[in-house]
Structures are given as structure tokens and as C-alpha cells.
Amino acid sequence: MQPNPTFFLDRTHGKIRRNLLTRVGLSVVLHSHYFPPEEKDTVWLAKCGKENWIVLSGDKAIERVPENRQAVINAKCKVLFFNDSNSRGEEWAAAVIAGRVRLFEIIERNNGPFFVTIEKHARSHISSVRYAGDGGPKPAEAALADQTASGEVIAALDPQPPKAERVPEQRELFRKKSDI
């Protein structure tokens, strides 16, 4: 297994994200430490590939624009996108931190070039609710009554599971239409 990867934050990200990520032991370099702000994406992507830096970006043009996509392919870059670039740096840093074990697995097990999208609202970071005693989901009326100061509704993370659908038996799957 290789040591932890170094993440490259492109020009759309700054010191706040870097500081949050480095506080938990991640290695992070900033675009601004190596390139002028107006540097072409193709130039810094080539450097990321050469240095084996993992790109963290919200700029989906890296995948869409043919010359940028080709730069990723040529440099065999591993690119991780934030699914939007309008959220707070703390939210994205939290998504990377919470998902870092999975991100490390993806980085380690796959050769570049590749693209991966990071969602900031991932349910996989939190286990299912395990009820004890009289615990259980709140009735719909009680859940609606629990409101925060901002008016946001708080609902149980795991509502009652839907009733199981009837699974057809194998013989039913292969009936002729005329038999139905």
C-alpha cells in the first residue's frame, strides 16, 4: 500500500479547505503555491500527473472541455470533483474527511486517468438507526412538529421501511403471455 496521497486544490479552493484537511493529516498543496491564478488548466493538470497529486476541484470543465479532458488522459490524473462549487469550504472539507477511507481505496485501487464526484450529503457516512426498548420512528405528525429555529423539518434518518413487495416465484417469471 502506498502512503497517503497528496491532494491538489485547484484555484477555486483556498486556505480554509487546505487547513481543515491538513488538520486531520491529509497532505494538501494549493494551486496558488505553484501557478499564477490565470494558468491554463492543461498546464497544472500535467504537473499534477507528473507529481502524482490527486486533483480536488469543483470545475467540471476539466472533464467536459476536450483539451482539459485530454490533459487528464495524457497525465493519467486522478480527479475528484465536488458536485457543486457554491457550498462552503467547511462542508466540502467535511465530505472529504468523512469519506477519506473510501477515497483512499478508490485512489489506491484504480489507475488514472479517472474522474470521481464527491457528494457533500452522503448517507453512507452514518449507520442505520438501531432501535432499543420503546424506540422507533416518530409518527409523521410528531416529526413535522419538531422544527428548528430556521423552520427546517427534522425527520428520522430511517423512516419505517416500505412494506415488502411480493417477489414473483421463478415459474411466474417465465410464463407465456398467453398464460397470464
Average pLDDT over residues 130-150: 61
- The whole-number pLDDT of residue 141 equals 67
Specify the CATH class of 6-123 in words. alpha beta
- The whole-number pLDDT of residue 92 equals 82
Half-sphere exposure of 40 (CA within 13 A, CB side): 9
Average pLDDT over residues 3-12: 82
pLDDT at 8 > cutoff 60: yes
Average pLDDT over residues 137-141: 73
Q: For residues 20 and 177, which has the higher predicted lDDT (pLDDT)? A: 20
> In what side-by-side order are the strands of the sheet with 54-57?
27-30, 6-9, 54-57, 78-82, 114-118
Q: Tell me: the pLDDT tens digits for 53-65?
A: 999 988 888 889 9
Domain boundaries of the chain, sorted by first residue: 6-123
Which percentage of the chain shows pLDDT scores above 90? Answer: 17
Three cell numbers written together for 135: 424506540
Helix segments in the chain, DSSP class H: 15-23, 41-51, 61-64, 66-75, 89-98, 100-109, 140-145, 170-173
Q: For residues 22 and 129, which has the higher predicted lDDT (pLDDT)? A: 22
Contacts of 72 (CB under 8 A, 6+ apart): 45, 49, 62, 63, 79, 112, 113, 115
Pick from 96, 106, 126: nearest CA to 16: 96
DSSP 132: -
Q: Note the pTM of the prediction, 2 decimals.
A: 0.67
